Structure formats: C-alpha cells, structure tokens
Structure 1
Amino acid sequence: MTADGFTHLGDQSVYRGYIWEVVVGSFRDPVGNEFTRDIVRSPGAVAVVPLLRDDDGSLSVVLLRQYRAAFAREIVEVPAGMRDIDGEEPEHTARRELIEETGYEPGSLRLLHRFYPSTGMTDSVLHVYLATDLRHVGREMHGPEESHMEVFTVPLAEAVSMVVSGEIADAKSTIGLLLTDRLLRGLDNDVI
C-alpha cells in the first residue's frame, strides 16, 4: 500500500521496442477495486535551450526544424533526445544530443526544469537544460531525421514569440524557452 492508498500490483508487457515498452499495469484503489491502465515505460529524455551571444550582445537560441513521423511533418523545436544509453546521466545525454544535432558543445549546462510530459500514459521524465558558452565542434548526425534537419538561430525574443503564436508548439521547447526567458528577465545578461 502506498501513502495515497493505491497499490501497484504489477505489469504485463504487451510490446517492447528499441526504446519504449508498453505494459498493462494492474492496480488496486483505496477501497479494494482492481483496475488496469496502459502505460508506456520510457527511459526519459532531455531537451536543451542553446544560447548564443550575438556580436551586438543580444542573445539568440539555436533551434531545429525536423521531420517528426508521428505528425508526418516538420516541427520547430529545441535540440533534444532520448536517454537511450543505460546509466548515462541526463546532463551527459544533453551534451551528447546538443553536439549530435547542432554541432555545438556547451561550456555550461544548467538544469532549468524536470517535468513529466504526459502523466496519463507514460512514466517518462524530461530534463530541460540551458546551454551557454557554446563552441562549434561539428555535428555527429544519426538517422534520417537528423541528416535532413535544419539548424538555425533566432533571437530569443523571437523564439518566445514563436511559442506564443503557436509556431513552436512542442511541449519541451515551450517549457524550455519560456523558463529561459523568465530566468533571463531576472538576471544580468553578463551572467550568461
């Protein structure tokens, strides 16, 4: 029994892929009723908001436009990736994914937030980082989506406007960009 009165009785695996596993979880509620839920088990993921300081001192963010098969179209988002290497710490995954997707290596990574992207269907945890002091080292592309993605920069204020207008609708990107904007409004830009 857990503190909230619900008991997890076990899982039955119905599908196991390269990264995800779909299970039927069995549970008992506080009054003894048993029920099941379909759950996607996930190793989690990371997202990175990479900031560049422009020659005039303003800040730009590195974004991606990449094909997403689930939507059958290109999506604008921040760099991100699955925690698909056993035992790899989220910060290391963030560094690796940023280099693979953009060619930038961060001098500094700061955890902005850790969130649950879809509590009704998955146990995934997503870590969002702010990357600064970027150094271009070259991309290490993997897979068809990465080899065809567009890497581009926009002023941070424009990226926030893209969130507000719906041009950027991806949850991890929305959270990362809005938290970055909020953080920077409270700090001297010389800190970054």
Structure 2
Amino acid sequence: MPSIATRLGWETARSLVVEPGSAGWRRPELTSASGFEIVGDTAVHTGFVIDVVQAQMRDPEGGMHSRDVVRHPGAVSVLPLHDDDTVTLVRQYRVAPDGDLLEIPAGKADVEGEAAVELARRELAEEVGLEAESCERLAGFFLSPGYSNEWHETFLATGLSKVPSAADGAEERHMDVLRLGLDEAIEGIATGRIVDAKTIIALLAAARRG
C-alpha cells in the first residue's frame, strides 16, 4: 500500500514548486494521486476580487460532479515583531463574519509581477506605517481549500521603523492599530481573542522560530 504522503500527493507537492504570475510566490503545483480531475468550468460570477465558477470534476471511476469554486488572486500577510517582543496588530471590521477581527496586516495580490515579499512590505507600510529591515517568509498555505484556490504567504518583519501610512478602503480608515506582547498574542489564540487563521499561523510559526 502506498504511504499516506504518496496517496495525498504531498511528495508531488513538495517536488513541483512553481512561480505563478508574481515572481517569488511559492504556490505548490498539486496533483491527485487518486485520479480526480477538473475537466472544465462555467463562470457564475466575476467580481472585483474573486471569481466564482462551477467546476466539472471527474472522479476515479469516471463519474462527473459539479463543485462551486472561488478563484482568488492570492494574498500575503506580515507579522511585525518589534525589538521589545511586541507585535503590531490591527482590529478591523470584516463584512463576511460581520464583526471586528484582530489580525496582522495583509493584502491581496493586485499588482502584476509584484513579488510576495514586496507586497508584504507594501502592506506593512500602507496599513500600519512600518518599514522592515528584514522580511522573512514564515509559511505558505491554502486558506480554504474546500471551496477556494486562494494561496496565502505570511512573513515575519523585524528591524522596524516608522513610515507614513496610507489607508485603503473604508475598513482600513476605521481600523485600530495596537501592540501586544508576543506571548500575550499567542495566549489570545487559546482564549479565542484571536480567531483569524493567517494570524494564528504567523504567530505560531514565529514562536516556533524562537
């Protein structure tokens, strides 16, 4: 029997790392070891940020199935870690859950050819007015693979200094910027104060680095 990694396609995902559109993005080129295949899709909605399609999927026995899929250009986030072991977060309204979330700065890929790390640096400056001497990649992940192809990369920013900020959109104009101790922020994951996935991943990845 093949290993779990082989059956899930992880070995292929690790070996086929591609540069999709924007240089420096490390989205994995996945395959289905069990034989599933998308054979076409039909546009349902074309929006400002996302497109929605009805994908036609063939299963390993040849059966056909329809699945709703959200196509997304990709996004980045960045955890600003100060020299005193505090982190800068934002409290921002999000329309989908209809409430405020405590998050790290983030933004979608909306400039053709922009490297992921450069997008992270730009969002760091625009959202919270910070510039980093170092911006290191922490992790890359699919945020909601059950229905979306959104690929997300998160970064750790250190050596921080102040620069002018430039809020983009109503939510950013009305968000709060705050600093928490790194340990306090990580504790916020356990207590439910922080429930945003990218922020949880970045905080835990940064803590693991020590």
TM-score (norm 1): 0.90
Equivalent position amino acid for 1:26 in 2: Q
Equivalent position amino acid for 1:104 in 2: L
Within the alignment, does 1:79 sit opposite 2:109 as a pair?
no
Q: 1-side partners of 2:102 and 2:195: how far apart?
A: 8
Query: What secondary structure does 2:173 align onto?
Result: helix
Moved over 6 A (4+): none
Unaligned ranges ≥5, structure 2: 1-30
2:83 pairs with 44, 53, 74, which one? 53
> How far has the Cα of 1:29 moved from its partner?
1.0
Among the aligned pairs, what percent are the same residue?
A: 42
> Counterpart in 2 of 1:152?
178
Q: 2-side partners of 1:23 and 1:126: how far apart?
A: 20
Unaligned ranges ≥5, structure 1: 185-192
Give RMSD over aligned pairs.
1.3
Equivalent position amino acid for 1:35 in 2: H
> Counterpart in 1 of 2:143?
117
Task: Indicate the larger mover: 150-159 or 1-10.
Answer: 1-10
> Counterpart in 1 of 2:190?
164
> Counterpart in 2 of 1:190?
none
> Counterpart in 2 of 1:4?
34
> Counterpart in 2 of 1:189?
none
Query: What secondary structure does 2:121 align onto?
Result: helix
TM-score (norm 2): 0.83
2:43 pairs with 3, 6, 13, which one? 13
**Residue-pair matches, total:** 180
2:133 pairs with 103, 107, 122, which one? 107
> Counterpart in 2 of 1:33?
63
| Distance of aligned partners of 1:2 and 1:79 in 2 relative to their CA distance in 1, 3 Å threshold | closer
Query: What secondary structure does 2:146 align onto?
Result: coil
